[in-house]
Amino acid sequence: MMLHAQSATRSVHARAALSALLVIGLLSGCTTVLGARNHVSTPPYALPDPAVIATDDNLNAVLWTQTSVEHDVIFEEIYRQAGDRLVAALADPD
């Protein structure tokens, strides 16, 4: 009987220790989350001044023309519409 009582006592102590570790883990996670909310993060790079960016509109236009997918789609659509109108104009006898 004594052996069973010691085993039960160890089981209670083990559960208490695990519960304490769980509570400590949860509380440490909460303080990290709360601390992160109050922390103001700064970007790892300096944001460029919008006035400096806008001063070279020609460069921005050239870069957009060379790299933009929208540019290609717009010009393909305009070319397609011009071809359709040309066919219609050539078919018109007037």
**How many distinct structural domains can be found in the chain?**
2
pLDDT tens by residue, 53-93: 656 778 888 998 999 999 999 999 999 999 999 999 999 98
Same domain, 57 and 23: no
Same domain, 56 and 94: yes
Same domain, 35 and 13: yes
What is the pTM for the complete model shown?
A: 0.37
pLDDT tens by residue, 17-65: 666 665 566 666 655 555 555 556 666 777 777 666 656 778 888 998 9
The length of the chain is 94
* AA identity, residue 37: R
Is 44 inside a domain boundary?
Answer: no
Is 62 inside a domain boundary?
Answer: yes
Same domain, 56 and 19: no
- By residue range, what is the domain housing residue 67? 49-94
Same domain, 32 and 2: yes
Is 68 inside a domain boundary?
Answer: yes
- Who's near 53: CB < 8 A, 6+ residues apart? 60
pLDDT value at position 59? 87
Instruction: Provide the token pair at 68.
Output: 């933009």
pLDDT value at position 44? 75
pLDDT value at position 12? 61
Is 73 inside a domain boundary?
Answer: yes
Same domain, 57 and 34: no
For every residue of 12-51, DSSP letters joined together read HHHHHHHHHHHHHHHHHHHHHHHHHHHPPP--SSPPPPHH
Chain centre to alpha carbon of residue 30: 24
Same domain, 23 and 53: no
Please count the other Cβ atoms lying within 10 Å of the Cβ belonging to residue 5: 9
49: left (phi over 0), alpha (psi -120 to 50) or beta: beta
Contact between 62 and 69 under an 8 Å Cβ cutoff? The reply is: no
